[in-house]
């Protein structure tokens, strides 16, 4: 009889999770009035224990919109995304934290429940869905970012890193490992999951699919990628991962390959901008204290 490999063994069966008791939804947002209402509407029929919005000193109507939906709103006092994520988890009471970006949407009410069950079955510390941008008339920036996620993120299985657009994480792990508040510009999720990986805690991408609205203007895109570059440099300095200094070149090469493979050479400009913004952000991060 052929010996069954470890990876071929059937997943352990667990009782269904009651998301109304175990799931705390955390939305960290700043100036998200254009999308936060659609997100709150998309999760209005989902059973969860609590919903907490951590606001980053928004100057628009974000907080007013959230309060119209009866959400609990906290302020991170402008201390950055890592602080906001940690603050949300510390004020939550569920066993599982669902971090959802303000520009994401949950297209089906059972997606988070299925992700909870999948994370439990696979004994993962965190799980992220595959993502698509469902808008029909996307511009070049939106289309190119959507193609990138479809080609790189949207594959079920174990990963070393996942983003936090719609991410479920065990609360006990967040309280133990903690988001590093020094990551005020981005890469706070990469830093957390890197420490998970070093301790053998597995994470991965789900079979489920959520929606994410990508940056629509050149200015929004450029600002986002510069911020990621600042965060990447802090990560490199903290962990000594100097090979990551090649990330801007890697993004450009990978993006060019994706653009040519999908017969969309016009998307190369998107990756050129992304690569340039990352490099500028990394240079900026090099001269930041700490």
- What's residue 289's pLDDT? 72
The residue extents of the domains of the chain are 18-214, 219-286
Cα 163 from Cα 38, distance rounded (Å): 21
Q: Calculate mean pLDDT across residues 251-278.
A: 97
pLDDT at 276: 98
pLDDT for the residue numbered 241: 94
Give the whole-angstrom CA distance, residue 117 versus residue 121: 6
Yes or no: say if 52 and 91 are a contact pair by the CB < 8 Å rule. Answer: yes
The Cα 281–Cα 290 span in angstroms is: 15
Cβ proximity of 92 and 26 under 8 Å = yes
**Residue 10: what pLDDT?**
45
Q: What is the mean pLDDT of residues 56-72?
A: 94
Model confidence at 39: pLDDT above 50: yes
Ramachandran category for residue 31: left, alpha or beta (phi over 0 → left; psi -120 to 50 → alpha) = left
The CATH class, in words, for 18-214 is: alpha beta
Cross-strand bridge partners of residue 121: none
In three-state secondary structure terms, 100 is: strand
pLDDT score of 70 more than 80: yes
């Amino acid at each position: 009889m052929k010996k069954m490999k470890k990876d071929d063994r059937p997943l352990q069966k667990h009782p269904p999770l009651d998301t109304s008791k175990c799931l705390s939804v955390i939305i960290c947002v700043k100036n998200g009035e254009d999308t936060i209402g659609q997100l709150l509407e998309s999760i209005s029929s989902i059973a969860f224990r609590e919903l907490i919005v951590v606001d980053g000193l928004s100057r628009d109507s974000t907080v007013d919109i959230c309060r119209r939906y009866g959400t609990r709103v906290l302020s991170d006092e402008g201390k950055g995304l890592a602080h906001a994520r940690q603050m949300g988890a510390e004020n939550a009471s569920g066993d599982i934290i669902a971090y959802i970006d303000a520009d994401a949407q949950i297209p089906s009410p059972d997606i988070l429940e299925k992700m909870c069950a999948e994370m439990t079955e696979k004994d993962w510390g965190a799980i992220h869905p595959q993502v698509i941008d469902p808008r029909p008339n996307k511009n070049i920036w939106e289309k190119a970012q959507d193609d990138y996620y479809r080609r790189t993120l949207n594959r079920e299985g174990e990963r070393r890193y996942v983003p936090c657009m719609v991410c479920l994480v065990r609360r006990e792990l967040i309280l133990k490992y903690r988001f590093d508040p020094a990551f005020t510009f981005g890469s706070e999720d990469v830093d957390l999951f890197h420490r998970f990986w070093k301790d053998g805690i597995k994470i991965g991408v789900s079979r489920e699919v959520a929606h994410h609205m990508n940056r629509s203007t050149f200015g929004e895109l450029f600002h986002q990628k510069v911020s990621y570059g600042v965060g990447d440099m802090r990560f490199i300095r903290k962990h000594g991962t100097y090979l990551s200094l090649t990330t801007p070149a890697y993004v450009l090469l990978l993006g060019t390959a994706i653009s040519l493979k999908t017969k969309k050479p016009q998307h190369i400009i998107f990756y050129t901008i992304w690569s340039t913004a990352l490099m500028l952000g990394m240079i900026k991060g090099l001269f930041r204290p700490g």
